[in-house]
Amino acid sequence: MYSRLPREAYFALASEAKKDGIPFVGHVPIYVSASEASAAGQRSIEHLSEVLFACSSRESDLRKQLIATAIGNERDRLRRDQVKVMVDTFSEQKARTLSRMFAENNTWQVPTLLVQHAYAFVEPYGLHDSPGARYVPAKTLESWIERLNGFRKIRS
């Protein structure tokens, strides 16, 4: 599963996977909530973003904002800005409810700590000098640097 998969396609894939006894895992599309993904049989959810959405008392508003935003850097910036709102509006009750649902449905949450570590500690100016940078298209490298700069703003 991936983040930009349309809602209808997500549930169609979930249904087919269930019929064929195939477990499915991955990102939760922005059009689907973490609780809906768990109820649909998704075995693991990558990254913390959908769980943070699901535990916010403003989940519905935040999701509408994200869906209404164009794909690309604009959406990345909005999502980054929403992290603070999600943390500030964290609902312990929603978190408990979601945790119980995950346990009942055998849904695992994979926080992808390596990615979080990179956002927290990688300095963007080092990316250009990285040995692997020559294999990455310039536009992609620039989008990574912009994203890292955004996370540096959150840290400070």
> pLDDT tens per residue, the chain (156 residues)?
667 789 999 999 999 999 999 999 999 998 999 999 999 999 999 988 889 999 999 999 998 988 888 666 676 777 778 888 999 999 999 999 999 999 999 999 998 766 666 666 666 666 777 788 888 888 888 877 777 777 666 555
The span from the CA of 2 to the CA of 133, in Å, is: 25
Cα 15 to Cα 8, 18, 30, 92, 105: the distances in Å are: 11, 5, 18, 31, 15
The residue to which tokens 């603070």 are assigned: 84
C-alpha to C-alpha distance for 112 and 101, rounded to whole angstroms: 21
Q: So where are the chain's domains?
A: 1-111, 114-156
Residue 138: the pLDDT is 85
